[in-house]
Amino acid sequence: MSQESSPRRPRQPAHTESKSRPRRRRRRRMNPFLYLSLVIAVSAMLAGIAWIWAGDVLALNKAPASAVITVERDASLNDVARTLKENGLIEYKTLFKIFCSFTKAEQKITSGTYELNTDMDYNALVNSMSSRSGSRMTVSITIPEGYTVDQIFALLDEKGVSTVETLQNVAANHDFKFSFLKGVLPLGDYHRLEGYLFPDTYEFYMGGGESAAIQVLNKMILRFDQQFPDALREQAANMGYSVHDIVTIASLIEKETDGSDQTSIASVIYNRLNNPNYETVGYLQIDAALVYATGRVITQADYQAVDSPYNTYLYKGLPPGPIANPGMVALNSALNPAKTNYYYYILGNDNTHHFFATHSEFERYQATLGG
């Protein structure tokens, strides 16, 4: 019997179990020359940028130029940088802002009008825009005798010293420390300074916010304080009048005449005030006070129609306060009135005032004027 041979299994190839290792790739080394060239190029570029920035910060190699700029009261650092850039004083706004942030220079910059130039580096520009800078622009302004606070504020605004709104706000609400202002109109009304902004020629800084407006008004009030010393205040007291009364009377004189008859006008005012039982019965009947109340040219109908304490046709005695800012001549006239028996005056066709003791004399002369 034959045996069937079992099928042979194929031989497995003998092999050792060894893990295949990945081949290492050779790193390509940068050409040393190329690497060095790249480092030099980047360094040169950064150095160039740094030099350009340094040129702006340090004001190096800038073309000569100057500009007058105004920093508004509520201007931001970005506003200041933009203004400097627009006027060719700096090249890089962001760099200037970074400089100001790191050096805390922003705190030094104050509102105002300044004359700057391209010779100034960043630090000089900042210092030149400070409150004590010699670069801050000034303007000489003459305040005429008889100007009202409204006229003065409009003039200061026109000349770029401050805005009408800022001046009104400061005049109304700042408590100026002068004894003669106590007892006048209370805080809240800018007309409280009427009469005390002394007419003169002043040098003022241009631009500025509330603090600058305080300095401007304080300067004019201080000038009044200097021109109306204790000797004159004692003279007023000896006459039975306060400083406020004298300033009010002087303002009436100032607005009623600009001629050489101020002491005669003063005598009419005092005669009416001091003799209320005379035929004028204490009414001053001064047109200028009524014009001040209405702000316009008046008519005879206004004498009875306008209900205002400044209407001296309706209200006896002095108005509540001055109607303008009088000069020294008017103040001296109020302190030294002529001694007369005049109670009336009228402007004649010869453009001079004529004075009378009685109403009948006044009417007779008035009839000769015609019209």
Q: Percent of the chain having pLDDT more than 90?
A: 61
Task: Count the alpha carbons within 13 Å of 279 in the hemisphere toward its beta carbon.
Answer: 11
pLDDT at residue number 112: 85
Weakest mean pLDDT among 12-21, 109-118, 161-170:
12-21
From the list 83, 144, 145, 140, the residue with the least C-alpha distance to 116 is 83
Neighbours of 251 (CB within 10 A): 28
| d(C-alpha 84, C-alpha 78), whole Å | 10
Superfamily for domain range 66-128: Endolytic murein transglycosylase (3.30.1490.480)
pLDDT interval class at 33 (50, 70, 90): low
Can you tell me the mean pLDDT for 10-33? 55
Weakest mean pLDDT among 31-45, 261-275, 291-305:
31-45
Can you tell me the mean pLDDT for 243-252? 98
Higher pLDDT, 100 or 31: 100
Q: Is the pLDDT of residue 88 over 70?
A: yes
Domain boundaries of the chain, sorted by first residue: 66-128, 138-227, 241-369
Q: Percent of the chain having pLDDT more than 70?
A: 85
pLDDT interval class at 5 (50, 70, 90): very low
pLDDT interval class at 24 (50, 70, 90): low
Residues with Cβ within 8 Å of residue 198, at least 6 apart in sequence:
143, 220, 221, 223, 224, 227, 325, 327
Q: Is the pLDDT of residue 57 over 80?
A: no
φ and ψ at residue 16, rounded to 5 degrees:
-95, 140
* Mean confidence (pLDDT) of the chain: 87
| d(C-alpha 182, C-alpha 348), whole Å | 40
- 7 sits in which H/E element: none
Q: What is the pLDDT of residues 343-352, one digit of tens each?
A: 999 999 999 9
Q: Is the pLDDT of residue 20 over 60?
A: no
Q: What is the pLDDT of residues 213-247, one digit of tens each?
A: 999 999 999 999 999 999 999 999 999 999 999 99
- 367 sits in which H/E element: helix 359-369
pTM across the whole model: 0.76
Can you tell me the mean pLDDT for 50-67? 72
Q: Is the pLDDT of residue 43 over 60?
A: no
Can you tell me the mean pLDDT for 158-170? 95
Q: What is the pLDDT of residues 279-324, one digit of tens each?
A: 999 999 999 999 999 999 999 999 999 999 999 999 999 999 999 9
Q: Is the pLDDT of residue 182 over 50?
A: yes
pLDDT at residue number 233: 97
Neighbours of 221 (CB within 10 A): 20
pLDDT at residue number 156: 96
pLDDT interval class at 62 (50, 70, 90): confident
Q: Is the pLDDT of residue 39 over 80?
A: no
Q: Is the pLDDT of residue 7 over 90?
A: no
Can you tell me the mean pLDDT for 161-170? 95
